[in-house]
Amino acid sequence: MSQSAAGGEGAPQVLPEGKERQRKRRRRKKKESKTRLVRSSLLLPEVEPDKSKRTVLACNRLKTTKYTALSFLPKNLFEQFHRLANVYFVFIALLNFVPAVNAFQPELALAPVLFILAVTAIKDLWEDYSRYRSDKEINHMECLVYSRNEKKYISRYWKEVRVGDFVQLRCNEIIPADILLLSSSDPDGLCHIETANLDGETNLKQRQVVRRFLELDSEFDPLKFTSVIECEKPNNDLSRFRGYIIHKSGKKDGLFKENLLLRGCTIRNTEEVAGIVIYAGHETKALLNNNGPRYKRSKLERQMNADVLWCVLILLIMCLFSAIGHGLWVWQYGEKKKPIFDVPGPDGKYLSPVLASVYLFLTVIIVFQVLIPISLYVSIEIVKICQVYFIHQDKDLYDEETDSQLQCRALNITEDLGQVQFIFSDKTGTLTENKMVFRRCTVSGIEYSHDDNAKRLAMYQEPDSEEEEAAPKGGTLSQRDSICSHQSIKVIHRSQSTKTHRRTGSRAEAKRASILSKHTAFSSPMEKDITPDPRLLEKVNECAKHLEVMRSHEQPLTHLSPELCDVFDFFIALTICNTVVVTAPNQPRQKVRDRFELKSPVKTIEDFIRRFTPSRLTSGSNSSSSSSLATSKSMHRFGLSTLSSTSTDSTLLKLEEKLAYSAQMNNNGYSSQQGKMAVGGAPEEGELRYEAESPDEAALVYAARAYNCSLVGRLSDQVSVELPHLGTLSFEVLHTLGFDSVRKRMSVVVRHPLTDEINVYTKGADSVVMDLLLPCSSDDPRGKHQKKIRSKTQNYLNLYAVDGLRTLCIAKRVLSKEEYGCWLKTHLEAESSIENREELLFQSALRIEKNLHLLGATGIEDRLQDGVPETIARLRKAGLQIWVLTGDKQETAVNIAYACKLLDHDEEIITLNAESPETCAVLLEQCLQCVESKFSNTIDGATGSMTVGFTPLYPPSSSVLSSLGLVIDGRTLAYALEPALEDKFLALAKRCRSVLCCRSTPLQKSMVVKLVRDKLKAMTLAIGDGANDVSMIQVADVGVGISGQEGMQAVMASDFAIPRFRHLEKLLLVHGHWCYSRLANMVLYFFYKNAMFVALLFWYQFYCGFSGSSMIDQWYLIFFNLFFSSLPQLITGVLDKDVPAEVLIAVPQLYKSGQNMEEYQPHMFWMNMIDAMYQSLVCFFIPYFTYYDSEVDIFSWGTPIITIALFTIILHLAIETKTWTFLHWSSCIFSIVLFFFVALVYNASCPVCHPPSNPYWTMERLMGDPMFYFTCIISPVVALLPRFLYRTLQGTLFPTQLQLGRQLSKLSPETRTQLLTELNVKETICQTRLFADSFSPSLGSNASDCYKANNQSTPLPTSPQTRESLFREHAKAEHKTNQTVAASPPGAVLYEENKLPSSASSMERSMGLHEIRCGTSEVESLPVGTTFPWSSAVDQADFSLLKWITSTPLFSHIGTVLQVSSSSLQNETQDSMCVLGSSLHVDFKGLKEESSNNFQDKMKGTPTDHCKNDNSETTFL
Amino acid sequence: MKNKTSVLPGEGEAQPSRCPDNSAFKQQRLPAWKPQLTIASVLSTFFLTGAFCLTVGVCLVLAANSVREIQIDYSDKCSDCSRFRENSSNWNKECHCSVNFTLKEAILGDVFMYYGLQNFFQNHRRYVKSRSDAQLLGRNVKIQRSYCAPFSTYRNGTPMVPCGAIANSMFNDTIDLFYSRNSSVIQVPLLKTGNSWWTDKNVKFRNPESYNLSSAFAGTARPPYWQKPVYLLDEEDERNNGFVNDDFIIWMRVSAFATFRNLYRRVRRVRDFAEGLPAGNYTFRISYNFPVAKFKGRKHVILSTVVWSGGSNPFLGIAYLVSGTAATLMGFVITGIHLKLRKKKTYFQKQ
């Protein structure tokens, strides 16, 4: 067996190279064996012959380096010669060694090539070294491996771990290889792992010891392990592991993924585990999921290479032309009449014209080689390194919290950052901080807004969330519609706020604390220290007091008021309805265990009966916990059989009477328990730490603790809760019905220690829980009350959702014992059934989770990282399409998407959830059709608006139009990614503004990215922080890792690692743009420069018989590119800033220039070529005609030409340079000085040393000749005049966006901001108008009536002078009035609208009327005396509401129309508006925000109007 | 922006923060001049350039116009000799011809005499490099390894001195100028030396060290097209003989174009010619040795004066004038555009 294992596994350690893999695959095909056999390495001596092979196979060493010390030179050279250019240059250099064709001194010609190869080699060496270091770091991590010799676990390096080794891991250690779990310190044989490094999910996952080893009574001893494990070949499927273990006895046990610990995960909550290594090193699932690194070549480079090919073509044409020319030239003299200057070959024979032209062809290739810019590649590398350096150094990309800065890991794709079109983002840890924080809650219909808590959170967050919290609290609002309508408004408002500065002090503190507590998940102080809402706290205390009194007086709990009862239950539910494990901090590896007897949860009826009867006393002092497991299992069958045999009735009867007993029993037991607790010394609550499967649970438990209701212990059957006044209560957990995504809820069934009732606490998504509530009749007052509570709660839930909070409903159900018994019976049946157990359990859960009583709801914030919504908004403005690919569940993902403004509430959302490929296909088809039809409508509408309204500056792009969001889950995604459907999927996704893929696997993520990259030919960027994002990061054109949060794997795979998501903004918008524009300009310049230079030589061929001679000395020729002209362009390539950073950030639209490749379009290459041609003609012919028919010798004429060329080239660069720092100046001056210096030195150095050229004293002599200077002045001027003129005219008449942006930077800051706001306003108008016009209008006829009604009830005196102050007073006066003020004016609005020939939709009408009704009814109830503020109120408020209505997307068209008319009102409204806004009630929060929002709009209104006029002018230019 | 000093008080001191320096260079905030190429900002440039070019152009044109030059093509006038030279068997026979011309006005100042060649591709690649600077420096007369092949050695191994195609094809016509005054013919005194670059004569070209020239060149042979060995180039003047012969040096400086002229002689300003060349009838007496008909070449003899800006070529001056005019015109045009546009301001537009 083992032989086959060794043979089948023959492939040595898997190198990332594809070849290796292929070979392995081939070999694998040959061998039939599809499984791997693993046996203990301690038994190795028995299989000695295989040892060598085995060790090779099993190495856990990680190796990602490309070279070794020996292989570096050949391998690197080999790789460098993959670059065609290098081959070309070497070929040309070697060509120089052929005497017949040589143009230069061979050694000299070789120099540049060697130089360039060396520079690249050094760079590669450096890169590989850094990889080596990181590998080494990982390889030298330590873990405990069992040693045969020492008979214990000893510390070893990771790289020494082999397959078959036994590894022991402690809590919080990282797993070094894929390990089969054989033993755990947990008595249940469980082990928790955190797979964050693997899939980004921070929740703990349970792993189980292989069954047979669980039943071992003694401790696991590796030496006794004789079983053989047969399992799958290494594969990359994280969610699958199959195999079986064959024991010596011949018995087989199945192995599942629950038994496997995966490399890269972290052990949590378990003191010690041990296991045998199954896969090691590159065979581990984690590493197999890492697709090998892809050689990334930037888009610009690809384009550049295409142009290099054009250059080659041009070169060949030039050479061919010269060759033919030379052939003709030779031919014209004929055989006989060889001229004296046509030198025969060394053998004295003349070449035939054909042969001469062939030779000449090769010669001119050498001479013209400069056209293919040899220094281009090396210059680009240098520029990129410098760009990377500057990106590194940017302070804005430094995160002080983690003390980390941006890392550029790929040096060759910086410019791709400036061209990104699609961003694929991970969610957890990328967009969010992955810290769940309890934010607010509502209990029995009363909202506790937790202002202090909000403030506390705001300390961590940007302060602008405070203003939201400052809104009045605790009011009631029954109009659900109005809230809904406000939601979208608020969202808009929030996204507009741009305050992002943080309070760094608290951050730093948080960081320090989080370092301290790093070894437990979800326990940053931000999550833990929840500030309770005083009102709620008061109620809790009151409740607790009541309870205490009641208990001491033996009163039943029912005396408690229903509200307090709800509060009490609410917190009990928060505390116990979860699977949170309590640990003590000083021994974080151990669960806190109470000293009570261990009891297993109810497993059988018998068990239940036993535990609910005083039989405990009879069966012994206490039934031992350890035995209970075994007995319960054995009784399982028995119980079942008895159950089936006996009649149900009798069982229930028995149950009933026993329950009665137990009630007494428990009442007695209560006080004793408490006493025990005190004796046992319950750990202080502050020290306890909660470890939860999901961060939400922990957040809720911490929240409850803030209200002194703290979870102090959890056993498998019992939860202890400490309460104020009451002490510790122990809840017997009868069942835990775990969370599943279909039910979307979880429940615990407990026995309440106080009431001794059986309670079901359910916690779940509001959508499901609200439907499961006990239907209440509206007749009796109680039912009415309940109904009211429910509608209120629902309102608050909606509010929470709008705020981006994750909402959970908490409900409870009190079960009578009969009910419970009844349910228990079926439940146990379900539990014990073998076939479709899951299904039955599900049904069973459904049966108990009904007729619930709503307790309340919570809002948990999965805190977004700083500035994520702003960043996303700006990136969107920059034309980037953002997709979120997450492994999270759909609801969470959608919630976060809303929170970070990825989805908008006024956006239509397409959700794709398909069960099969067929349904998926149908769904896609439908959606596509629907979208298409919608699109055509919208476009029609839009074009319609153009003729009517203001002329848009640019035709609307589809991205502006689409207000669609696409949500797709993992399974559907899998279908959609199949070749048959992927086109449709893409077509749909393209139309959507945002795409959200939930529950996607790492591989799916990468497939999505690949799909977009390949099919849409778009530039993609993937950003993520976990190992689950690695493949996506690698597939994308640009991979960005978030460093600092989770493991380093994403960072290792990424091209750029940034500390925070928000840094992406500057990285892309500023650095990306700069890098792109710099490099694009540099590349274009390079082409120009070389073409211009080579053309000079080409023109000369016409005057030297196409003989391939050059008037420029070979030294200048060879080193011109490398030394004389390279520095200025490098400086410009590194430092030039076309638009300053502030403007790029402020105007994200400028980023589009990179996406559209505006800086380097194909025609620009040709434009530059033509310009180069012209310039070279000038630079050639001015000296030519000047020196024509003179005594000038070849080098005395060539030297001015190269001088002129140098001047021209540098001045050309000067025209193209946008920013001149002293470095630019000095580099230009340096280049020229260097040229003259070298020329003078070289021309004076020796008269003979550089045959065949001999420029001795040429430069010196030229510099004494005035003609030299005159020529050098006029030629560049004439050469550059056209370009200069073109740039001037273009910059003045048709400036590009970038040029305008540059102009913007010259303005004073005030003017700039003003202009920018205008710009933004314009944009929103543009966007909203399109929606507005797609809407078919209908007249709001009711509106005027309403207004009349309003008018009647409130006479309108006019007192313009005083109304403002009056209003202010009034605003302060009372809530109610304020409401009226705010609510009533829609009538006025509508009235106004009616006057205007504009339109109001039916929807608007209904909303408006709603408000009016509410308003009028209350107005009527007002005392007549309060009429005085009405004029102002109406004036002010109608304005605000007018704004409010019109600024909702649907009506914005009207808004824009009205804006002009309303701007006159604006000044009067300003002050009072503020007052109105701040004192508004919470119910009107949305309204208020909107009004202030509109206020801002109005502020912008006036300039907008102006600029509109201006624009209409300029666009018609 | 963040403040560097506010990083964790405790840890910040213990281990230096990785926060990048806030230097202008690293943050790319170096003070910079940001020129904007708009009409308003470049107007002055156009006018200034125009004015400058016009000024220089006028000066150059005036200077070029002051140059007097006489160019005589003698390849036709000496057609007999030309035909005579076609036959290579006549290589060592002499052929003379005379060319007459009349100066209506005297040419004042220094007068230079050039020979000009047309269609002689001295800049041919293989021709240009067919020389040995080491040999010409006198260090190694019998140089073997050089670019001179096939004009480095004879079949029998005798090295050619000087080697190479350039030397071999040296212009070997002799031109004398005679002035006919009152029926008496006076030979115009011409200077043979001082025509080449000082550095060539003194640095690049040296005769080999020896007690006399002929012994220095012993064991070598003249190039095949030469009529006499190198040490007999100027028997009258020791310092103008051998490699340092001015005619030879000048010839060795290969011209840039196929049409070129080389300085041959200068008029020595003595007696009648102290002011230059007086008006009257002149005759060039040419010993026609250099065949040009084979490559359809032409030969000229040129008399010219020289000014600070070189010869009589007016091109540069005209170029200056034209471009100066163009720049000025453009300046006016864009001024017009600017004035027209001034009222309309372009705003930053949304895309």
* pLDDT class of A1286 with cuts at 50, 70, 90: very high
State the best of B7, B29, B114, B128 to mutate against chain A, taking most chain A CBs within 10 Å.
Answer: B128
Q: With CB atoms and an 8 Å threshold, state whether A1186 touches B315.
A: yes
Nearest C-alpha of chain A: how many angstroms from B348? Answer: 6
Average pLDDT over residues B224-238: 87
Average pLDDT over residues A651-662: 46
Q: Quick check: A21 pLDDT over 90?
A: no
- In this prediction, what percent of chain B has a pLDDT beyond 90? 35
State the best of A1195, A1217, A1274 to mutate against chain B, taking most chain B CBs within 10 Å.
Answer: A1274
Least confident of A278-282, A770-774, A1330-1334: A1330-1334
Is residue A1049 exposed (0-12), middle (13-18) or buried (19+ Cβ within 10 Å)?
buried
pLDDT tens digit sequence for B194-205? 999 999 898 889
Q: Where are the beta strands (DSSP E) in A752-840?
A: 758-764, 806-815
Closest in A398, A1152, A1273 to B351, CB measured: A1152
- The residue in chain B having the minimum alpha-carbon distance to the alpha carbon of residue A1257 is B199
- The residue in chain B having the minimum alpha-carbon distance to the alpha carbon of residue A326 is B124
pLDDT tens digit sequence for B168-182? 999 989 999 999 888
* pLDDT class of A1176 with cuts at 50, 70, 90: very high
Which residues on chain B are in Cβ contact (under 8 Å) with A1257?
197, 199-200, 203
* pLDDT class of A202 with cuts at 50, 70, 90: low
Which residues on chain B are in Cβ contact (under 8 Å) with A1274?
53, 56, 316, 319-320, 323
Per-residue CA distances from B139 to A1246, B162, B251 (Å): 14, 12, 20
Contacts 24+ apart (CB under 8 A), A925-930: A925/A984, A927/A988, A928/A984, A928/A987, A928/A988
SS3 state at A440? strand
> How much is the pLDDT for B49?
94
CB B125 within 8 A of CB B263: no
SS3 state at A1055? coil
Which residues on chain A are in Cβ contact (under 8 Å) with B313?
1185-1190
State the best of B124, B225, B334 to mutate against chain A, taking most chain A CBs within 10 Å.
Answer: B124
C-alpha–C-alpha distance, residues A521 and A527, integer Å: 11
* pLDDT class of A1209 with cuts at 50, 70, 90: very high
- The residue in chain B having the minimum alpha-carbon distance to the alpha carbon of residue A1105 is B124
More confident position, B83 or A1282:
A1282
Measure the CA dihedral A279/A281/A283/A287, to 10°: 120
Nearest C-alpha of chain B: how many angstroms from A1027? Answer: 25
> How much is the pLDDT for A429?
75
Average pLDDT over residues A506-525: 43
Whether A1412 has its CB under 8 Å from any CB of chain B: the answer is no
Measure the CA dihedral A1373/A1377/A1379/A1381, to 10°: -110
Q: Quick check: A13 pLDDT over 80?
A: no
Indicate the annotated binding residues of A.
426-428, 697, 739, 763, 806, 886-888, 999, 1005, 1025, 1028-1029
- Give A308-368 as a DSSP string: HHHHHHHHHHHHHHHHHHHHHHHHHTTTT---TTSPPPTTSPPPPHHHHHHHHHHHHHHHH
State the best of A1106, A1135, A1190, A1249 to mutate against chain B, taking most chain B CBs within 10 Å.
Answer: A1190
Enter the pTM of the model. Answer: 0.72
> How much is the pLDDT for A458?
66
Nearest C-alpha of chain B: how many angstroms from A1041? Answer: 18
pLDDT tens digit sequence for B127-185? 988 888 888 888 888 887 778 888 888 888 888 888 889 999 999 899 999 998 888 89
Quote the distance between the C-alpha of residue B208 and its chain's center: 28
Closest in B20, B33, B262 to A393, CB measured: B20
Q: With CB atoms and an 8 Å threshold, state whether A1303 touches B348.
A: yes
Q: With CB atoms and an 8 Å threshold, state whether A392 touches B20.
A: yes
Q: With CB atoms and an 8 Å threshold, state whether B137 touches A953.
A: no
Residues 942-961 of A with CB under 8 A from B: 953-954
Whether B5 has its CB under 8 Å from any CB of chain A: the answer is no
Residues 129-158 of B with CB under 8 A from A: 129-134, 137, 139, 146-147, 149-151
Radius of gyration, alpha carbons of chain B: 32
Least confident of A98-107, A478-487, A885-894: A478-487
Query: Which amino acid is it at A1021?
Result: L
Determine the Cα angle at A422 with ends A419 and A423, to 5°.
105
pLDDT tens digit sequence for A261-317? 888 888 877 788 888 888 888 888 777 766 555 567 788 888 888 888 899 899 999
Q: What is the DSSP letter of A622?
A: -
C-alpha–C-alpha distance, residues A402 and A1048, integer Å: 14
Q: With CB atoms and an 8 Å threshold, state whether A1288 touches B37.
A: yes
Q: With CB atoms and an 8 Å threshold, state whether B125 touches A1109.
A: yes
Per-residue CA distances from A974 to A262, A942, A999, A1013 (Å): 24, 36, 10, 17
- The residue in chain A having the minimum alpha-carbon distance to the alpha carbon of residue B251 is A1193
Nearest C-alpha of chain B: how many angstroms from A376? Answer: 24
Q: Quick check: A923 pLDDT over 70?
A: yes
Interface A-B: count of C-beta contacts within 8 A: 336
Q: With CB atoms and an 8 Å threshold, state whether A405 touches B18.
A: yes
- The residue in chain A having the minimum alpha-carbon distance to the alpha carbon of residue B63 is A1267
Q: With CB atoms and an 8 Å threshold, state whether A395 touches B27.
A: yes
Residues 1317-1346 of A with CB under 8 A from B: 1318-1319, 1322-1323, 1326
SS3 state at B313? coil
Least confident of A364-373, A677-686, A958-967, B29-38: A677-686
- Beta strands B112-118 and B260-267 are antiparallel
Nearest C-alpha of chain A: how many angstroms from B322? Answer: 10
Whether B43 has its CB under 8 Å from any CB of chain A: the answer is no
Q: Quick check: B265 pLDDT over 90?
A: yes
Burial A64-84 (b: 16+ CB within 10 A, else e): bbbbeeeeeeeebeebbeeee
Q: What is the DSSP letter of B265?
A: E
Closest in B31, B128, B315 to A1109, CB measured: B128
Per-residue CA distances from A79 to A17, A70, A75, A83, A516 (Å): 13, 15, 6, 7, 47
Closest in B6, B308, B346 to A1295, CB measured: B346
Q: With CB atoms and an 8 Å threshold, state whether B126 touches A400.
A: no
Q: What is the DSSP letter of A1120?
A: I
Q: What is the DSSP letter of B278?
A: P
Per-residue CA distances from A367 to A104, A401, A655, A1084, A1112 (Å): 8, 57, 104, 22, 10
Per-residue CA distances from A1420 to A1355, A1387, B6, B119 (Å): 12, 15, 58, 111
State the best of A367, A1175, A1292, A1293 to mutate against chain B, taking most chain B CBs within 10 Å.
Answer: A1292
Whether A765 has its CB under 8 Å from any CB of chain B: the answer is no
- The residue in chain A having the minimum alpha-carbon distance to the alpha carbon of residue B338 is A1292
Indicate the annotated binding residues of A for ATP.
426-428, 697, 739, 763, 806, 886-888, 999, 1005, 1028-1029
- What would the two tokens of residue B174 be? 């002799």
Residues 99-118 of A with CB under 8 A from B: 103
Per-residue CA distances from A783 to A777, A778, A939, A1500 (Å): 5, 5, 51, 51
Residues of A marked as catalytic: 426
